[in-house]
Amino acid sequence: MPTTKLARLALEDGTVFHGRAFGGSLKDFEGAGEVVFNTAMCGYQEALTDLSYTGQILTMTATEMGNYGVAPEDIESASPCVAGFVVRELSAIVSNQRATRSLSDWLADAGIPAIEGIDTRALVRRLRIGGAMRGVISSVPLADASDLELVARARAIPSMAGANLAAKVSPRCGGRYEEALGEWAPRGGLFVETKPTPAGRAAGSRFQVVAIDCGAKRNIYRHLVERNCDVHFLPHTATAAEIRAMKPDGLFISNGPGDPAVVKSVIDTLREVAGEVPTFGICLGHQLLALALGATTWKLKFGHRGANQPVRNLLTGRVEITSQNHGFCVDETSLRAAGGEPTHIHLNDGTLAGFRHIAKPIFSVQYHPEASPGPHDSAYLFDVFVEMMTTRRPVGASEMERAQAALAAV
């Protein structure tokens, strides 16, 4: 194993777990954030680089992590972005021809504190019962910081509620994303191979999509590029005038971290422009669209994080197994009052997982149709967005059914 250095994870409820340190740096380290858990069996690299985990200590429920190392092609942002990482066991070997280094070395270079050798079942049970909690990972010796001192530090961490972390991870300036799915591209579906042309344009023209980037995963943009879209991303401070000046065929609002209700700049912009062109939101983008329309959001007890979350499409009746990562949810009653209609429902707890506007070309989902990692059941939603840009009409059951059936036939 890379280290036998001791480490501790302290929770705000007074619980302290003792284990072994990895990642971090050569010196004593400490990391603080909201402790959450992910039920995916694999995909630790994509999760660690998902900017939606900013400010959180991520716990994986699967027993062993690190067994297939780290491959540069699999990251979703420039570097790991979690506040800390918790696993039951760190693999002693790396077995993967694509890997270039070990998980521990990669986290060490990024300065991410991590702990292994604790009872993650007990930790997850505590988070399920008590809800997501603030916590501290520390490799500082007990003589320098007692368990009680670490618990006190955990209790002093600001709450995730009210935290505008999208402002922290959003790009400082705009740009263009050009990478497609490459060898991972699906075969079949509606618009992956046919490459439709925007209405009223010369043959071969591409859809111009403006993306408000609140911490987007790269695989979202890859799916759009694969479907004949030029993706122009803008920071979360983008104004309505800046968006209109680009004359987009469609508007996309990305995933991201923190409390959606405090990302005022995006909410204000969407309140002005949402529905002027076909609009699609994912995760935080879903919440921001709902807030801009006049709905409200609330914080889930322990969130939905994993690659096995069941969702029913209410327009088609089909069930999708989805990849999810969020701690907040849109209130369904307030959404209906704001002109929204639920399109997807989470089957574990009945919470809202997607909606469309009844009169405007707006739709969004709470989960991640790009997966990475996770099942591809929901990739059809990118086809629905492309079709909505083609027709410029609100999304309907027929579009959902056709796109879902085409993906299922692949």
Query: Which of the following is catalytic: 283, 329, 332, 387?
Result: 283
Rounded CA-CA distance 381/359 in Å is: 19
Concerning whether 368 is annotated as a catalytic residue, the answer is yes
Cis peptide before 342 (omega within 30 of 0): no
Query: Which of the following is catalytic: 326, 368, 376, 399?
Result: 368
For the chain, what are the domain ranges? 6-155, 166-408
* CATH code for the structural domain at 6-155: 3.50.30.20
Of the candidates 331, 314, 330, 313, the one whose C-alpha atom is nearest the C-alpha of residue 322 is 313
Rounded CA-CA distance 139/410 in Å is: 49
Q: Check residue 199 and give its pLDDT.
A: 81
Q: Mean pLDDT for each consecutive 10-residue tract of the chain (410 residues)?
A: 79 97 83 97 96 98 97 95 97 94 95 97 98 97 93 96 97 96 79 84 91 98 96 98 97 98 98 96 98 98 97 97 97 98 98 97 97 93 96 92 87
Q: Which CATH superfamily groups domain 166-408?
A: Class I glutamine amidotransferase (GATase) domain (3.40.50.880)
Concerning whether 283 is annotated as a catalytic residue, the answer is yes
Of the candidates 301, 263, 280, the one whose C-alpha atom is nearest the C-alpha of residue 370 is 280
Residue position matching structure tokens 């327009």: 315
Beta pairing class for 113-116 and 133-138? unpaired
Q: Check residue 159 and give its pLDDT.
A: 95
Query: Which of the following is catalytic: 34, 320, 332, 370?
Result: 370
Cβ atoms within 10 Å of 204's Cβ, excluding its own: 8
Q: Check residue 3 and give its pLDDT.
A: 53
pLDDT, tens only, 252-305? 999 999 999 999 999 999 999 989 999 999 999 999 999 999 999 999 999 999
Joined together, the tokens standing for residue 310 give 């069941």
Residue type, 114: A
SS3 category, 363: strand
